[in-house]
Structure 1
Amino acid sequence: MKIVGVSACTVGIAHTYMAQQKLEDAAKAAGDEVKIETQGTIGVENELTAQDIADADIVILAIDIKIANEERFAGKKVVKVSTETAIKAPNKLIAKLHEIAEK
């Protein structure tokens, strides 16, 4: 499965990158392709391309704030969670994404 997403916390530092890393590790362990964009204090990193989004089976938004360009995910299956959820239960979250993507 191909997963793309965005992580962004209120401060834009620690939780943004912790959520990205946990999601990427859990998705790779499940055999998925994954790319997580971060929107932190230093701006957008690992930016998702239109092709990344078009090719994705599902979008995960691990966000605690409003993010830039959320409209680019229109028409995709999108799951929103807090960065805390992504950090504390990434494997359960990836399993849930599989369930949702298969519906």
Structure 2
Amino acid sequence: MAKVKIVAITACITGVAHTYMAEANLKKYAKKENCEIKVETQGAMGIEQPLSQQDIDEADVVIFAVDTSVVGKERFEKKKIVEVGTSEVIKNGREVFKRALDMIGG
């Protein structure tokens, strides 16, 4: 079976600590679940590691780990999206991944 492909956006209100802690936890759980993941951070430094439209199109599911609005949300139309706060990913990343995988029947 092909690896599940996930794209994610992380963004917190101040755009510093939680943005990057959520990114790190998403990558950690992706590795544990044997999934491919690409994470775009939207923080104090602006948009870092921007997702290409091809990344988005090829993704099986999208995770928004955000405490604020997503810049460029229209890029994700017609995608399955799990939206949670950054602290939920930091505290319980495994549960967030379970919800994302359940959404695509994985």
TM-score, length-scaled by structure 2: 0.94
After TM superposition, the runs of 4+ consecutive aligned structure 1 residues lying more than 3 A away are none
Mapping of residues 29-68 of structure 1, within 5 Å: 29-68=32-71
Q: Identity rate of aligned residues, in percent?
A: 42
Cα distance in 2 between the residues matched to 1:30 and 1:67: 25
Map Cα deviations across residues 46-84 of structure 1 (whole Å, 9 max, x no partner): 110000000000000000001210110000001100000
Give me the CA root mean square deviation: 1.0
- Letter of the structure 2 residue corresponding to residue 99 of structure 1: D
- Letter of the structure 1 residue corresponding to residue 86 of structure 2: T
Gaps of 5+ in 2: none
Cα distance in 2 between the residues matched to 1:78 and 1:96: 10
Partner residue of 1:99? 102
| Aligned counterpart for 1:18 among listed residues 17, 21, 24 | 21
Partner residue of 1:81? 84
Partner of 2:51, secondary structure, is coil
Cα distance in 1 between the residues matched to 2:56 and 2:81: 11
